[in-house]
Structure 1
Amino acid sequence: MPENIHRALDVDSHALRIVHRIHELGSITAAARSLGYSQPAVSQHLKRLEARLGLPLVAKAGRGVRLTEAGRILARHAATVTQALDAAAGELSDLAGLRSGRVSLAAFPSASATIIPTLLRELSLRHPGVQLNYLEAEPPEAVRAVRDQTADLAITFSYTGDRADPHRQSAQGLTAVPLWRDEMLVVVPLDHPAASLRAIDLALLADDQWIGGCPRCRAHLLDLTARGGFSPNISYETDNVVAVFGMVAAGLGVALVPALAIAASPLPAGIVARPTTAADFRTIHLVGTEGAELIPAVAATIRAIREIDARPWSLFPVAGPDAAQSRHSHELGAVHPR
């Protein structure tokens, strides 16, 4: 018998509300009127629930009805259940209406001083109820955070031909959408012979000392210089772009950095940045999970990211087949496990 009761109590919220209103108002007619149902519909709900429970819930009392002991027990607990359901519905409405919600985003360091502040400002203006939690991480760690569900979204970058590109094997099953092209620039001292050129052929710097950046940036430098027919003499290595600029200004070498890094940390006096003659660039991506755009707060964050005007940082929208396809896909963009 207890098992049957437990199964029978797996009822819809309408029946619970009806029993609770009969307890409050003392009649089926009044309960139906307050809930916006017809009296026959309320009676049918009661009959079905009584049949499932095997217990009567109402009994006639003069011209009206009264709840039986079983009905009173159900009404007492129905109040708690319906209040919880109403609270849940309210919170879900807040989420759907973007009056609340939390999004976790990971991005690389030079985005922290450029893209992220702009995104935070736009979200706070459009959807003040949405809270954005930010984690600074290089692309491999950021992609892993999305896969491990410690981040909802990640802004990452990749270099053309990079064999360690985290958007390939490690991003299988995730979405990776190209957003912008970030131009690679050669940083040289102002008195360097190449400083007067509008664009620099890396082969002209074969005899210079180089300052290497992060491991993936160094790998990209080695790839580019190999194509130029030389191996760079990397004398110093640092992930700190401010330190890179200081070393170049001190005449210790030359460096290859992305435009976004210069936007995050402007060049000091005594050095200049020039594009390469090959117009080298890296691609900035938005990474997420399948279906992430179905969550209202995440969808709002995705829209805000894609609508950012990146021109002040010398970022340009990605052109080509990937970008064309992304415009014809869902909100997050083209779904391309890479």
Structure 2
Amino acid sequence: MLELRHLRVLREIARTGSYSSAARNLGYTQPAISQQMKALERRYGTPLVVRAGRGIRFTEAGAELVRHAQDILRDVAEAEAAVTAVANLQAGHVRLVVFPSVSATLVPAAAAHLHRRHPGVRLSLTEAEPPESVQLVRHGECDLALTFAYPEDSDDLDELERIPLLSDPFAAMLPADHALAERAAVGLAELSGDSWVAGCPRCREHLVQVCGAAGFTPDIVFATDDSLAVQSLVAAGLGVAVVPRLLLSSVRRDDLVVRPLQPATHRKIEMVTWPDNLRVPAVAATIRAIEKAARTATQT
């Protein structure tokens, strides 16, 4: 079998024009070079080098092997350089799937930190909510998912790695002139008679569940995935809403009221990936950057 050491010997003989010079440059003895060349000639059944006066020259077969050796060694060098760059975080690509409220809050801070530390590492973003985002990781279409889960959700991550980030409490969002707007905190059951503005499908399911636990079914008059639309509908007096605090840290209208919710409810924000991805330098660096962004978010 042709090995890289053979290719390096061929290239060095072609470059220097002699076995002795090739041996000296490669750290071999001249007999070792001669033995390698004879072994190659036996393998291919044809001479590769012939004597020409005091020097040597490659035969047609030998010249073909040298030409390919140069191409192969160049490609190997490029491959080694590319792998080394990825291993040293000088290059890399992480496919991140996120849900909207973290794409507007945690992701920008994490991406900026990653770019400052490792400018050669590139992030690409896909937006999806769980469970779709988890499936993208499971099927290898993304490397890392930022997801959320409610306390009542079942754990179906199986062999995937779960990395906790933060607990994101929900708050009551009210029109500025709402009867409970001056309260320090709002009981969920106190809003049983109001119309409701709901968010994404999973958010609506959670809303119905927590309201049911408080003894009523919410009268949902508007439902939208657009968080700004939710705020605008509430500000216009068309209903009340329950929203995660993290969502309000990016954009919040000043003509509505946000109050802590009683009983307190929250969602868990976490990262999900395959365990082996934790050993990939670019993925590990991205995880550290997101964890830093989450710590900063909980301190503000």
Q: TM-score of the superposition, structure 1-length normalised?
A: 0.80
Distance in 2 (alpha carbons) for counterparts of 1:36 and 1:302 = 44
SS state at 2:249 partner: helix
User: Which runs of at least 4 in structure 1 moved beyond 6 Å after TM superposition?
Assistant: none
- Counterpart in 2 of 1:104? 95
Q: Which runs of 5+ in 2 are unaligned?
A: none
Using the aligned pairs only, state the percent identity.
44
Alignment of 1:297-336 (within 5 A): 297-312=282-297, 314=298
Q: Work out which of the residue numbers 61, 78, 97 in structure 2 matches 1:87.
A: 78
Alpha-carbon distance, 1:29 to partner: 1.9
Distance 1:251 1:76, change over 3 A: closer
After superposition, the Cα gap between the structure-2 partners of 1:93 and 1:37, relative to the gap in structure 1 and judged at 3 Å, is farther
Cα deviation, 1:298-319, whole Å, max 9, x if unaligned, reads 222122122224444x489xxx
User: Which residue among 179, 183, 200 is the counterpart of 1:214?
Assistant: 200
**Which amino acid is 1:23 matched to?**
A
Given that 2:174 and 2:239 are in contact with CA atoms closer than 8 Å, whether structure 1 keeps it comes out as yes
Q: Is the 8 A contact 1:143 1:287 kept in 2?
A: yes
Q: Cα deviations across residues 124-169 of structure 1 (Å, max 9, x unaligned)? A: 1111111111122222332222233322211111111136xxxx44
CA contact (8 A) 1:238 1:244 kept: yes
What is the TM-score with the length of structure 2 in the denominator?
A: 0.90
User: Which whole-Å CA distance do the structure 2 matches of 1:60 and 1:288 have between them?
Assistant: 61
User: Separation in 2 of the partners of 1:102 and 1:77?
Assistant: 31
CA contact (8 A) 1:99 1:127 kept: yes
Contact 2:171–2:259, Cα closer than 8 Å, also in 1 = yes
Correspondence for 2:108: 117
Q: What secondary structure does 2:91 align onto?
A: coil
1:256-299 CA-to-partner distances (Å, cap 9, x unmatched) read 00011111221322x22122223211011112224123332222
Q: Which of 296, 316, 323 does residue 281 from structure 2 map onto?
A: 296
Retained in 2: the 8 A contact 1:102–1:132?
yes
State the Cα deviation string for residues 73-122 of structure 1 (Å, max 9, x = none). Answer: 31122111111111111222222222222221111111121111112211
Conserved in 2, the CA contact under 8 Å of 1:181 and 1:315?
Answer: no
Distance 1:51 1:294, change over 3 A: farther
- Tell me how far apart the structure 2 counterparts of residues 34 and 279 of structure 1 sit (CA, whole Å): 74
Q: Which residue of 2 aligns with 1:133?
A: 124
Q: Does 1:27 align with 2:12?
A: no
Unmatched tracts of structure 1, length 5 or more: 1-9, 317-338
Report the AA paired with residue 98 of structure 1: L
- The DSSP-based 3-state class of the residue aligned with 1:231 is coil
* Secondary structure in 2 matching 1:207: coil
Structure 1 residues 315 and 186, CA, compared in 2 at 3 Å: closer, same or farther? farther
SS at match of 2:120: coil
Q: Choose from 227, 230, 243 the match for 1:244.
A: 230
**Does the aligned pair in 2 maintain the 1:293–1:299 contact within 8 Å?**
yes
User: What SS class does the counterpart of residue 181 from structure 2 fall into?
Assistant: helix
Deviation at 1:64, TM superposition (A): 5.5
- For 2:224 and 2:57, the matched residues in 1 are separated by 80
**What does 1:177-256 align with in structure 2 at a 5 Å threshold?**
177-256=163-242
CA contact 1:213–1:241 (8 Å) conserved in 2: yes
Select between 24-33 and 69-78 the one with higher mean Cα deviation: 69-78
Query: Relative to structure 1, is the Cα distance of residues 193 and 311 closer, same or farther in structure 2, using a 3 angstrom cutoff?
Result: farther
CA RMSD of aligned residues (A): 2.3
Residue 275, structure 1, aligned to residue 260, structure 2: yes
Asked if the contact 1:201–1:276 (Cα under 8 Å) also holds between the matched residues in 2, the reply is yes
CA distance in 1, matches of 2:175, 2:145: 35
Residue 329 of structure 1 aligns with which residue?
none
Relative to structure 1, the CA distance from residue 113 to residue 46 in structure 2 (aligned partners, 3 Å threshold; closer, same or farther) is: same
* Correspondence for 1:159: 150
- Give the Å deviation of 1:18: 0.1
Give how far 1:197 is off: 3.1
CA distance in 2, matches of 1:144, 1:27: 60
